[in-house]
Amino acid sequence: MQVKVHYISLVKSYTNKGQEDIAIPDNSTVAQLLDRIAEEYGTQFASEVYDPQKKEMKQTFVAMVNGVLVDQLKGVDTALKDGDSVILMSLMTGG
């Protein structure tokens, strides 16, 4: 299946992309998607945004699935479906 991932604010600076389509296995969770992103973008993403060892987002970052915060769903255990839109962003951005 395929999901569209949007990288907003600081997350965009770690990936050097604003968005991308990522193919993941059927029945994947947000954690499995984030593991894949952390593997692709390396230490800076893993140390700043998502800790693959602890399976948790860092305190200053959030993930949304189809416009809903994952914390309002099942956290990083939220199941993804083909065509879902995932947003990764920092809680605050400077102006």
| CATH number of the domain residue 63 falls in | 3.10.20.30
Instruction: Give the tens place of pLDDT for each residue, 25-37.
Output: 999 999 999 999 9
Instruction: Look at residue 35 and tell me if it is in a domain.
Output: yes
Instruction: Look at residue 75 and tell me if it is in a domain.
Output: yes
Instruction: Look at residue 22 and tell me if it is in a domain.
Output: yes
pLDDT category of residue 91 using cuts at 50, 70 and 90 = confident
- Domain range for 41 is 2-90
Instruction: Look at residue 95 and tell me if it is in a domain.
Output: no
Query: So what's the pLDDT on residue 93?
Result: 53
Secondary structure of 5-65 as H, E, C letters: EEECCHHHHHHCCCEEEEECCCCCEHHHHHHHHHHHHHHHHHHHCEECCCCEECCCEEEEE
pTM of the complete model: 0.93
- For the cut 70, the answer to whether the pLDDT of residue 52 exceeds it is yes
pLDDT category of residue 95 using cuts at 50, 70 and 90 = low
- The count of structural domains within the chain is 1
